Structure 1
Amino acid sequence: MIQLRLAVAMLALLLTFGESYAQIQKHVTLEDVFKSDVFSQKAVYGINWMRDGKYYSSLRRGVTGPVVVKVNVASGEEEEVLIDGAKLGLNFSSYAFNQDESKALLSSEVEKIYRRSSKAVNHVLDMESGKVQKLMDGEKIMYATLSPGNDKVAFVKDNDLYAVSLADNQVTRITEDGEFNKIINGAADWVYEEEFSMSRAFEWSPDGKKIAFIRFDETEVPEFNMQVWGKLYPEDYKFKYPKAGEKNAEVSIHVYDFDSGQTVSVDAGDEKDIYLPRIYWTGSSEKLAYIRLNRLQNQLDLFYANTNTGASNLVLQEKSETYVDLNYNDDLRFLEDGKGFIRTSEQDGFKHIYHHDNEGNLIRQITKGNWEVSNLVAVDERAKRLYFISTEQSPMERNFYVIGLDGKGKKLLAGNKGTYRINMSKDKKYYIADFTNAETPLKVTLHEASGKEIKVLEDNQALKDRMRNYALAKREFFEFETVDGTVLNGYMLKPSDFEEGKQYPVLMYVYGGPGSQTVNNSWGGARDFWHQHLVQEGYLVVSIDNRGTGARGRDFKHLTYANLGKYEIEDQIAGAKYLASLPYVDSGRIGIWGWSYGGYMSSLGLMVGSDVFKAAISVAPVTTWRYYDTIYTERYLQTPQLNAAGYDDNSPITHVNKLKGELLLVHGTGDDNVHFQNAVDLADALIRADKQFETMFYPNRDHGISGGNTTWHLYSLMTDFIKRKL
């Protein structure tokens, strides 16, 4: 009897232990993040709204290859396979329909060039007959684009602009002077692609009879030489890269007429040291609009050009004592029937929406307030409504609104705490919402324009279920005052077994560049789950948005103008001191890390904040702004000739003698963006100053330092450094 009771007791104990053991949550490992993709989320790809407004198409990977499916908006159900890659024998990765959806352009064997540029093999599919037409006998071409008339495809090859007739495969060579590192027609040069977020530099006219394009003459732009390793004799790769203060490409706008075979040059003024980063058809094939910026980017001009004569007239001008941020205000929309245009501007101190008549006169400012319109989603001219995403709820969130063209009737359509991205149908009756917040992976939902949800397209439930097995830290948002009394936003991750009476080392994550944000209520990626790994190893991970970052108005962002690094690093040091004052922080073990601008910040912080930071990891850093490109750098610092102190006073190279802590310097030798030269010169300065540091170079890797085993290697390296030095 006693033995039976003991057996029952032991069984009960084992069952209890088993239940407790099952509830024990796992720690995030590096393998989970970088090898097994445990925390990768699903998305809905390649969504294109169809012209009748009742359907949208979506690209997905089928069992045998890519398929484009047709989805009924009302039911949210797939009704038809429109394109089957397996049946066509094409492993395409992107598709685009022409205006009447009678043809589809399919791209495969895509070869990346720089951040946004690529070339690919392209086919045109006739949707009715199923006939597939290979363009240019399968030669890789760039930016293939169907004409509105459905009869031609324009593209760039070897720096020249072409069009091919689909009826007979006849090729029209629109330009003849394209040459690598000299002349580019219809495609952006390196610096426009990187800093004006563009790659294709041509546009079909509404009737498909003309094509407008930008020509880049980069003959006098200095060449940058990158060595490509891996062969007996390393190869030189030379490309045009205008560093701050150096010669830019000379740009011009041209319009080719297919009927006459003639090209008209647009008169953009006598000054040649300018930027021409945008061209727009206004709705008429006789009138082209374009934007001109001066070299310092503190004056933006909007012009109309007569495409028959090339004559231009100024429509609108905006000036600033600092800079006019085209990338952030890239929302110009021309209304039908000559009813003017909609644009965004920061001219009242916050980014808002404005309505102008066709001559450029202001009709009204549509949105107002001490918050920002982050982007204009759609204009419904028939209903006289605008749809936009804004920071009105919080600078750390993005919510979806509708407002009348008259500035009245503003309504919140999607207001959950977090971050929305919206893809609206062409008829403005439906939209697809991508939503995340700090604790919720991507949720994709289909809605009526009123906001009513029709169907959940993806909720990442499998990822949510996996996450329950892990002891993940919640992102705790906080505020503190910096040296001038400005309140800054930050977040902190604490271990799940956090103890109030214990002191923890801190790793701060920084980017900090103009208009950027790391402190936002949105889902993270692999980098954030690496932070989760560190938290579970006993570290606090913190990020702070310093002055100069985004979503808090023009003055907050432009404070750093002409003096990059000064206020940003003051704020990061102040943030570290604030953390050091907390009872659970080990003030002697505070580190900082960042990538790109964040690499610049972390290396500078370790030097000028030598009494605060014990260690820093600097990945792909700018170490002197003299080595970075014209468009980005001069926007915020003017030229080195005008503002030498702004370039040198806050360069990490200037402050190497102050280094006391531990530095890990990492760079890819094939970085076409922030050149390896930056790391080499910082290393040389540290050696001359007799400062010890650790370094790692990644052969032929670009700014993202990825490919193959690279990401695993890099994050393993950084993890080891943190554990040794903090």
Structure 2
Amino acid sequence: MKKLLFPFTARKRQFLLLLFICVCFSGIAQKSELSVEKIMQDPSWIGTFPSDISWGANSKNIYFNYNPEKNASDSLYKISLENRDEIVKVSLQEKRKMLPQWGDFNRKKTKKVYAENGNLVLYDLKAEEATEMLDLDANIEDAEFLQNEDKISFIYNDNAFILNLENGQISQLTHIRKGKEKEEKSPEVSEQDTWLEKENLGLLQVVNERKEKKENSENYRKSVAEEEPFSFYLGENSLRRLQVSPNGKYAAYQLINRAENKSTNVPNYVDESGYTADLPARSKVGEKSDKVDLAIYNAEKDTVFIVDTSILPGINDLPGYTEDYPEKEWEKKERQIIPSGTYFSANGESAVVNLRSADNKDRWIAEIDLKTGKLNVLDRQHDNAWIAGPGVGYTYWGGGTMGWLPDNEHIYFQSEETGYSHLYLLNVESGKKTALTEGKFEVFDPFLSKDKKSWYLTTSEVDAGERHFYKMPVMGGKMEQLTQMTGKNEVYLSPDEKYMSILHSYSNKPEELYIKKTSSNAKPDQLTSGQSEAFSSYNWREPEFIKFKAEDGAMVPARLYLPQENVKNNAAVVFVHGAGYLQNAHKWWSSYFREYMFNNLLTDLGYTVIDIDYRGSAGYGRDWRTGIYRYMGGKDLSDQVDGVKYLIKNHNINPDKVGIYGGSYGGFITLMAMFTEQETFKAGAALRSVTDWAHYNHGYTSNILNEPALDPIAYRRSSPIYFADGLEGDLLIAHGMVDTNVHFQDVVRLAQRLIELGKDDWELAVYPVESHGFIEPSSWTDEYSRILELFNESLLNN
């Protein structure tokens, strides 16, 4: 008889856990060098690994955060090119003298201007000397060299200013003011007072002459006085992304009219005050969007244009999902537009803007006529699902990869036009668009070389599970592969572009720092080796990378962990990664390193484990990304089921011994699996799970499921709470009570639903001090002890 798991239990598992690890199943002892306690302790036990890599401005030193001394937090260290064998901790004095990573270089990279501690600083790289140029009574921000480089633009008190380096003069470019313009009103004069004044002036000649002389004098002063600059009043708007053109003639900025939305509060029952404290959190999907306008200031005309987006092609189109609601009368109206960023050409005479529809189904790239503010559309990308992908961006904070070549004629950007995110050039004069990269792979983080004659970029061309760094001619051509180590190569190019520092990892090896010359033939030298003896003493598995056929014919990538035949128990566990749009079936060290180690433990104990990049995962192009549109829990779940079928057919798995677990999106899939695929999954652990998508956030959910009031079909078929009556197997639900991402309310509502349905075989474990990503080792240990016990009891003890 199946053992029941009772809700809200807080039993200790140590004894049972030890029992299940050491006891014999089928007469064979199944043991592991690992334990849940060992895996889930403070991650520092794994070792110390470099992060936040940067170069010194002179290309002589590599800087990174490191913690070989096991302090409370990382410190800054460096390795010099002259002495690569020595890792040196950076002193506080040296750290204070270091050139910050932000700011703007001149074209020759001999000087850098930046704002530090609110002041304007100019740094001479040759002299290694910093000069404080301005110290004002408020913070200076966004300092940049203008085109002729003898002037610097900066933002101060929400206005753009220009500093002349030759004479030190400061001029104010924009005059943006908060609030509304005050209208000067003449004082009200009664009919009686008007009559008295008129009679008095008619009777007394001297008084009348003095009045006329005063008025003539005021009119003359106004006629010869300098005209005051045009002031733009924000009214109820707030200002964001104020940018100055390189020639100093124009400025662009966004006007944000904040929407009022009802936010939620997450109660913290263990606040240090002893009282229950509310943590402010997000609103729910379906919230009103902020209204965002783009303003262009023309200094020559001393006026501001508000860019008119009503001319965009398709601006009134209805989304495709409306066809599923024929009974509803849909009004065609102008969709709300969000400008994601404005980009000026090098000479400052032209600009393009990246525009997104608020429903995220269209992106337009348009040129702005800086003299009139009118738009000329250069490119439109439409997606019946939603616009996204590497380098494409999806928020008004930025437009992803975009900018100008130095010729002032070509813009560059990334697009999923072919189904994969690639790099494009577009001639703004002729309208000709050219793909610089093409193929069934994706491009990441392209940038121009120092001389602007080449591209540096990362791609997945070698394999979807690898990342390599390339160099390519600026107008396109053969790509030169500069990295060769299998796995992920995260490259940081030295300022002189002669060397690459590489943060490299493999599936069973955490990140280490390497260096090599910027050449395809050069060999990399390893600079760090941070694995602890305790970690490296275990033979961590290299998962087998496989593809299996899904029910619709798609080949699904996965990582497979196979136990030794002498301990194999014919049970399987499916691990489901979180985030939805995330890649985990790859050849580098996973951000899910705890789960990777737990999967090793499960495999030691005889389980076969599979980790699937299901539909909706990153790394495989547009069709894979949008495979979950309007139906989360559709193909993303059937991919898990098909993975189990693959294991049953190819690895002799008992169909009655299959479990599933995952957190966040993985927790959501686990719930859908336990509620709707009862014949496949006998046990599941759903961690920090979304149970009802109508209660999640807007930015993520509305892209995939639209809005609940507009597309209720999508939400009802995608939310586990509607299918809770299907639970038959054993279910563990675990959630942090102060989760400000997926709120604890989600599982509270689901628990009530399960109670009302009379379901018995489920358990809710709550973690009072944890948010979405657990921090405390004790919480991780408790959670995964419960997961292991669940699988041992439900899959092996029946």
Give the alignment's TM-score, normalised by structure 2.
Answer: 0.71
SS of the residue 2:425 aligns to: strand
Aligned 8 A contact 2:460 2:466 in 1: yes
Question: Does residue 234 of the first structure (1) align with residue 276 of the second (2)?
Answer: yes
Match of 1:344 in 2: 414
CA distance in 2, matches of 1:68, 1:402: 30
* 1:555–1:590 distance in 2 versus 1, CA, 3 Å: same
CA distance in 2, matches of 1:715, 1:134: 56
Larger radius of gyration between Structure 1 and Structure 2: 2
CA distance in 1, matches of 2:575, 2:135: 47
Question: Does residue 390 of the first structure (1) align with residue 432 of the second (2)?
Answer: no
CA distance in 1, matches of 2:456, 2:747: 45
Question: Does residue 253 of the first structure (1) align with residue 294 of the second (2)?
Answer: yes
CA distance in 1, matches of 2:46, 2:74: 24
CA distance in 2, matches of 1:147, 1:707: 43
Q: 1:325 aligns with which of 369, 377, 388?
A: 388
Deviation for aligned residue 1:519? 0.6
Aligned 8 A contact 2:354 2:363 in 1: yes
Aligned 8 A contact 1:46 1:94 in 2: no
* 1:151–1:291 distance in 2 versus 1, CA, 3 Å: closer
Match of 1:536 in 2: 604
* 1:488–1:25 distance in 2 versus 1, CA, 3 Å: closer
Question: Does residue 416 of the first structure (1) align with residue 485 of the second (2)?
Answer: yes
The letter of the residue matching 1:302 is I
* 1:348–1:161 distance in 2 versus 1, CA, 3 Å: same
Decide which moves more: 128-137 or 516-525.
Answer: 128-137
SS of the residue 2:657 aligns to: strand
Match of 2:257 in 1: 217
User: What aligned pairs does 1:420-499 form with structure 2 within 5 A after superposition?
Assistant: 420-425=489-494, 428-453=497-522, 456=525, 458-460=527-529, 462-463=530-531, 466-495=534-563, 498-499=564-565
* 1:645–1:177 distance in 2 versus 1, CA, 3 Å: same
* 1:656–1:289 distance in 2 versus 1, CA, 3 Å: same
CA distance in 2, matches of 1:55, 1:502: 53
Aligned 8 A contact 1:590 1:613 in 2: yes
User: What aligned pairs does 1:84-123 form with structure 2 within 5 A after superposition?
Assistant: 84-86=91-93, 96-99=102-105
Deviation for aligned residue 1:68? 7.1
CA distance in 2, matches of 1:257, 1:98: 24
Aligned 8 A contact 1:287 1:304 in 2: yes
User: What aligned pairs does 1:486-525 form with structure 2 within 5 A after superposition?
Assistant: 486-495=554-563, 498-499=564-565, 502-511=568-577, 515-524=581-590, 525=593
* 1:408–1:209 distance in 2 versus 1, CA, 3 Å: closer
Deviation for aligned residue 1:292? 1.5
How many residues are matched?
A: 657
CA distance in 2, matches of 1:395, 1:85: 42
SS of the residue 2:669 aligns to: helix
CA distance in 1, matches of 2:445, 2:385: 24
Aligned 8 A contact 2:66 2:77 in 1: no
**Deviation sequence 1:668-700 (CA, Å, 0-9, x none):** 343333333322222222222112322233346
CA distance in 1, matches of 2:769, 2:301: 47
Task: Name the structure where strand makes up a greater proportion of residues.
Answer: 1
CA distance in 1, matches of 2:658, 2:281: 40
Match of 2:706 in 1: 638
Match of 2:735 in 1: 667
* 1:223–1:300 distance in 2 versus 1, CA, 3 Å: same
Give the alignment's TM-score, normalised by structure 1.
Answer: 0.77
CA distance in 2, matches of 1:308, 1:73: 50
Deviation for aligned residue 1:659? 0.4
How large is the Cα RMSD of the aligned pairs? 4.5
* 1:691–1:407 distance in 2 versus 1, CA, 3 Å: same
SS of the residue 2:656 aligns to: strand
Aligned 8 A contact 2:153 2:244 in 1: no
CA distance in 2, matches of 1:476, 1:353: 32
CA distance in 2, matches of 1:96, 1:609: 51
CA distance in 2, matches of 1:286, 1:605: 57
Deviation for aligned residue 1:599? 1.4
Deviation for aligned residue 1:606? 1.2
Deviation for aligned residue 1:658? 0.8
CA distance in 2, matches of 1:368, 1:255: 35
**Deviation sequence 1:564-595 (CA, Å, 0-9, x none):** 22111111112123323455534333211112
Deviation for aligned residue 1:294? 1.6
* 1:40–1:362 distance in 2 versus 1, CA, 3 Å: farther
**Deviation sequence 1:230-284 (CA, Å, 0-9, x none):** 255534445563x333311112234679999987644444846233333333335
Q: 1:291 aligns with which of 354, 374, 383?
A: 354
Match of 1:361 in 2: 431
Structure 1, unmatched stretches of 5+, are 1-23, 107-120, 187-200
